[in-house]
Structures are given as C-alpha cells and as structure tokens.
Amino acid sequence: MANYIILGAQWGDEGKGKIVDLLASRADLVVRFQGGANAGHTVIVGDKKFVLHLIPGGIVSGKAVNVIGNGCVVDPITFKQEIEYLKKQGIDVTPDKLMISFQAHVVTPVHKYLDRVLNKKIGTTGRGIGPAYTDKIQRTGVRLEAIVNGTFLEHFKQQAKLYEQYAQNLYKEPFLNIEQAVEELKEAETYIRPFIGDTVELIHSYLNKKANILYEGAQGAMLDVDHGTYPFVTSSSTTIGGAFTGGGVFLEFDKRIGLVKAYATRVGEGPFPTELNDETGEKLREKGHEFGATTGRPRRCGWLDLKLVKRAQIINGFNYITLSKLSCLSGFETIKVAVDYDSAGQPVYRSFPGWEQKIEGVTEWQDLPQNAREYVRFIEDYLQTPIGLVSTGPDRNHVIYRQPLW
C-alpha cells in the first residue's frame, strides 16, 4: 500500500497526464481535489491521445476507481461532453469507475458568462472556475447535492434572473439564452446524477483497505490562489494543502512528486520573469508544441526558473521530482536557468552548454549526452531533491527511471 500525490511545480502543463498514466496502472484510487474543467491533462497510450479536463487520469488505464473530490467545481454540461468524448475513444465511464462528491460546487452557464465578462485581464480558460469558487466562498453557490435532491434547476433559474439584470445594467454584454441553458442543464443533470456520492466515505474505505491511492493535482504551484503570482492565478489551492481540504480525508503521502518541466511555460497573463519574447522563446514553443490543451492558446515560453521551483518544493515537501520535456532542449547552444533575482527583481542566470544530439525516446541515463546529464544534476542539487524520472518524449515508454516511480 502507498499514498502518492503529484503536483505541478510551475504554472501547470508540466506533463501531469503522462505521470498519472504511469502511476495509474498501479493505483486503486485516483483522486482529483481542486479545480475543474480548466485542466488539460494529455495522456498518450500507443497511438492514442486522450485530453482530459475534469475527469481524473486514472480513467484511461481502466483499472482505478476515480474521484472528483469536494474541492473541485463541476460543470455538468462539460462533464457530459467529456464522458461522450471518452466513449468515442473507446472508454466507457461508468459510476463504478467514477464518483463525484455531493459537496463539490456546480459551475453553471452563468459562471461561464461571468468568467468571460469579468476576468479578461487574467486570461482565464473561460471555464467558469473563478466565479464558481467565488459563489462557494460567498455562500451563494450550489452543490451537486442539489442535483440529487432536485432543487438545482430552480437555483439556476434564480441565479440567471439576477445576473440577467446585472448583464443589462452593468456588464453591457449580451447574456446567455436562459431557456436554452435550462434545457441543456436538464439533460446534463440526468447524465451526472448517478455519479454523485460521498467521496469522503469512499476515500476512507480505500485507506482502510490499505489500497494504493494517487492524488492528482491540476495546474501548478505558481497558479495557487495563495502561493501563486496573485492575482494571475487560478481560484483553488493547487498545492498540497488543497489535497486535504479538497479530498476531505487525512492521509500521509509517502511520495510527494513534484512535476518540473525542463524549461518554463505559462498560459494567460501575469508575471513570468524568465520569459523569452524572442527567437529562442519561439524555438521552445515549436519544439515543445506549447499550445494550451484546454484553450489552444500559444503558451508563453522561457528558461527554467529554479528559484520559483524551489519555492514550490518548500511549500509541497516534494521528495521525488520528475523532469519533463528534456528532449525539447536538444539543439540549443546555451541553456539558461534562473537561480536567483537581483535587487531590481531581474533573474540571475546560470548558463549551461547545450547539446545537439536528439534524445527523444532515450530510456537509459548513460545514453544522454554529458551536457544533458550535467543540466539534470544541477537542478537536482539546487532543489536538494532526487530527480527520479526524466521524460524524453510524449510516449508512455519515453522515460528514464533513475529511481523507481512506484
């Protein structure tokens, strides 16, 4: 038995889908505890690619039971779409494989409208995440239990009527078609109802069974509502504390895995000290195919900022690091890493000689060029945490294990 947690150490998009997939074949239970359909976890198995937004990555392997915990926000309409998408891909998501907490909050079409109208400056994913969490904290939200007890649609109609007035008088942007939204929600309600249950009880029962449990974080530490680059953050706790409130059960994580990308990316607005607005940044974007999995937006790219990753390490207590996309750094003459900031707040870089050799698909540490190994060792020394796994490509098998993952 073992309890695992994986968490992004930067601004998300560190390659979680692949690590979840590698771990999920051993996990009995996979738990998401924060966020909603704003995540974009890409899992590649053989020649098949799955992009998951809300549903935990454990669904792909087919073995694990999956949980969407009370700390998440759930849009019934996109949930239905994701289930239908998975069905087309040959994955049948049934209530015995997935449970959603009755305490999780519902994301309604009004929240998505508000996200579009109010959060332009943040550059959100437009999935209604911030407004749904706002309602939760303001105590005006509605939980999935309302779908079970049949009061949800009434709540939605009242919410829509209220915000229709704001839309006309304040926001000056056309409001949604309420009738149409009600119809869509009616259908989605029937779809989601069988999946709703008491996930605290479920997680607890797996703990008692001494099962293997995997907590799957979404986004990354620098998007955490407390610890990230506020206000350019998401609205949930993406760091380890969120796992306790958002899963609802106390458990000790044997392995606390920090996901680090070999360079840095960010989608949306906000500070990014090592950003490269030049050819090098463009080259990183091309080599890394850095386009958002949820919105398709080009990601901003830059050098690895170890000062920030160290901060994420301190917050989360990582004891195992995975380093992704090392293969995308082939072909750079010099590779830089920010190790500190100067008094003006500018990054202080350490430069490394790059390597020409293509390393995609390499599985042996010794087969990496010397310069690549030195780069990895430097990161490890800086973080004082072992880099147990280096990912060298998109495929499940493109991995160098320096320490067993499970």
Active-site positions read: 13, 41
Site size toward ligand IMP, by CB under 6 A: 21
Residue of 3, 34, 70, 124 that binds ligand IMP (CB under 6 A): 124
Least distance from ligand IMP to the Cβ atom of residue 190, Å: 27
Span near ligand IMP by CB under 6 A; candidates 123-131, 176-184, 239-247, 392-400: 123-131
Query: Which CB atom, from 234 or from 280, has the smaller least distance to ligand IMP?
Result: 234
Least distance from ligand IMP to the Cβ atom of residue 233, Å: 6
The identity of residue 312, as a single letter, is: A
Least distance from ligand IMP to the Cβ atom of residue 221, Å: 12
Task: Give the Cα separation of 51 and 388 in Å (integer).
Answer: 25
Q: Do residues 223 and 9 make contact, with C-beta atoms less than 8 angstroms apart?
A: no
Query: Which CB atom, from 13 or from 189, has the smaller least distance to ligand IMP?
Result: 13
Query: Which CB atom, from 125 or from 322, has the smaller least distance to ligand IMP?
Result: 125
Q: Which residue is nearest to ligand IMP (CB)?
A: 268
- Find the radius of gyration of the CA atoms of the chain: 21
Q: Which helix (H) or strand (E) holds 232?
A: none
Least distance from ligand IMP to the Cβ atom of residue 122, Å: 5
Query: Which CB atom, from 203 or from 261, has the smaller least distance to ligand IMP?
Result: 261
Task: Give the Cα separation of 9 and 399 in Å (integer).
Answer: 19
Task: Give the Cα separation of 378 and 115 in Å (integer).
Answer: 41
Residue of 3, 10, 38, 212 that binds ligand IMP (CB under 6 A): 38
Residue of 86, 91, 122, 200 that binds ligand IMP (CB under 6 A): 122
Task: Give the Cα separation of 122 and 271 in Å (integer).
Answer: 11
The identity of residue 259, as a single letter, is: L
CA nearest to 96, candidates 3, 202, 21, 204 = 202
Query: Which CB atom, from 37 or from 376, has the smaller least distance to ligand IMP?
Result: 37
Residue of 4, 6, 9, 12 that binds ligand IMP (CB under 6 A): 12
What is the token pair recorded at 17? Answer: 């889908």
Within 40-59, which residues bind ligand IMP (CB under 6 A)?
40
What is the token pair recorded at 369? Answer: 């060029």
> What contacts 274, CB < 8 A, 6 or more positions away?
264, 302, 303, 304, 305, 336, 338, 347
Q: What is the DSSP string of 234-265?
A: -SS--SHHHHHHHH-S----SEEEEEEESSEE
What is the token pair recorded at 230? Answer: 């506020």
Query: Which CB atom, from 66 or from 235, has the smaller least distance to ligand IMP?
Result: 235
What is the token pair recorded at 139? Answer: 């105590």
Query: Which CB atom, from 235 or from 392, has the smaller least distance to ligand IMP?
Result: 235
Binding mask 207-246 for ligand IMP (x = CB under 6 A): -----------xx---x--------x-xx-----------
Handedness of CA 362, 368, 369, 374 (dihedral sign): positive
Handedness of CA 222, 241, 312, 238 (dihedral sign): negative
Within 126-155, which residues bind ligand IMP (CB under 6 A)?
127, 129-130
Least distance from ligand IMP to the Cβ atom of residue 320, Å: 21
Query: Which CB atom, from 120 or from 377, has the smaller least distance to ligand IMP?
Result: 120
Pairing of strands 264-266, 41-45: unpaired
195 alpha-carbon distance from chain centroid: 22
Binding mask 251-270 for ligand IMP (x = CB under 6 A): ----------------xx--
Task: Give the Cα separation of 302 and 269 in Å (integer).
Answer: 14
Q: Do residues 119 and 84 make contact, with C-beta atoms less than 8 angstroms apart?
A: no
Span near ligand IMP by CB under 6 A; candidates 11-19, 243-251, 301-309, 355-363: 11-19
Least distance from ligand IMP to the Cβ atom of residue 40, Å: 5
Least distance from ligand IMP to the Cβ atom of residue 309, Å: 16
Least distance from ligand IMP to the Cβ atom of residue 235, Å: 6
Binding-site ranges for ligand IMP (CB under 6 A) = 11-13, 38-40, 122-125, 127, 129-130, 218-219, 223, 232, 234-235, 267-268
